[in-house]
Amino acid sequence: MADVAGVTMDEVLRVAELANLDLTAEEVPRMQHDLNAILRHIAQLNELDTSGVPAMAQVGEMLGAEMESTGATLRADVLLPSIDRKAVMAAAPESDGRFFKVPKVIER
């Protein structure tokens, strides 16, 4: 497992950037402290030898042949009612009724 010596302040900022989160100056050290405490607890997974153990992404795969949705049969390709576009667009912060409007995408 990864080195649990600790997440640095820079790493917290880097992860926040990846997650599109702006952290305030007070939040950064607090998050660093909390992440390190939690990661130290998580490090106990290192005690287990998991070589050769398959990764479980979802419950169904553990039930083997008993589980149904194998994708062997496809549903019929028929048109079903979908959600009303007007109702969807009405929930947007800014819209012309057909599209979502956002600020400038290209930054200069």
Partner 1 sequence: MGLVSATIEGIRAGVANGTATATSVAEQHYARIAADDGPSGKGINSFLALSRDRALAQAAKIDALAAKGDPLPALAGVPVGIKDVLTMTGSPATASSLILKGYMPPYDATAVTRLESAGAVLLGKLNCDEFAMGSSNENSAYGPVRNPRALDRVPGGSSGGSAAAVAAGFAVASLGSDTGGSIRQPAAFCGVVGVLPTYGRVSRFGLIAFASSLDRVGPFATNVRDAATMLSVLAGQDKKDATCSDRPVGDYVSAMEKPVKGLHIGVPAEYFGEGLDPQIRAAIERALDSLRSAGCEIKKITLPHTKYAIPTYYVIATAEASANLSRFDGVRFGLRADGVKTLSAMFRETRDQGFGAEVKRRILLGTYALSAGYYDAYYLKAQQVRTLLTRDFLAAFTQVDAIVAPITPTPTWKLGEKTADPLQMYLEDIYSVAASLAGICAMSVPCGETASGLPIGVQIMGPHFNEETMLRVGLAVETARG
Residues of the shown chain interacting with partner 1 in the complex, contacts defined by CB under 8 A:
1-2, 7, 11-12, 15-16, 18-24, 27, 31, 34-35, 37-39, 41-45, 48, 50, 53-60, 62-63, 67-69, 75, 83-84, 87-88, 90-94, 100, 102-105, 107
CA 7 to chain centre: 20
Closest by CA to 11, choosing from 25, 29, 24, 37, is: 29
d(CA 61, CA 68): 10
What is the smallest separation between the CB atom of 94 and partner 1, expressed in angstroms?
7
DSSP letter at 47 equals: G
DSSP letter at 59 equals: G
Of 5 and 48, the one with the shorter C-beta distance to partner 1 is 48
Q: Residue 46: CB partners within 8 Å, gap ≥ 6?
A: 1
What is the smallest separation between the CB atom of 27 and partner 1, expressed in angstroms?
7
What is the smallest separation between the CB atom of 97 and partner 1, expressed in angstroms?
14
Per-residue tokens: 36: 């390190």
Of 79 and 105, the one with the shorter C-beta distance to partner 1 is 105
What is the smallest separation between the CB atom of 76 and partner 1, expressed in angstroms?
11
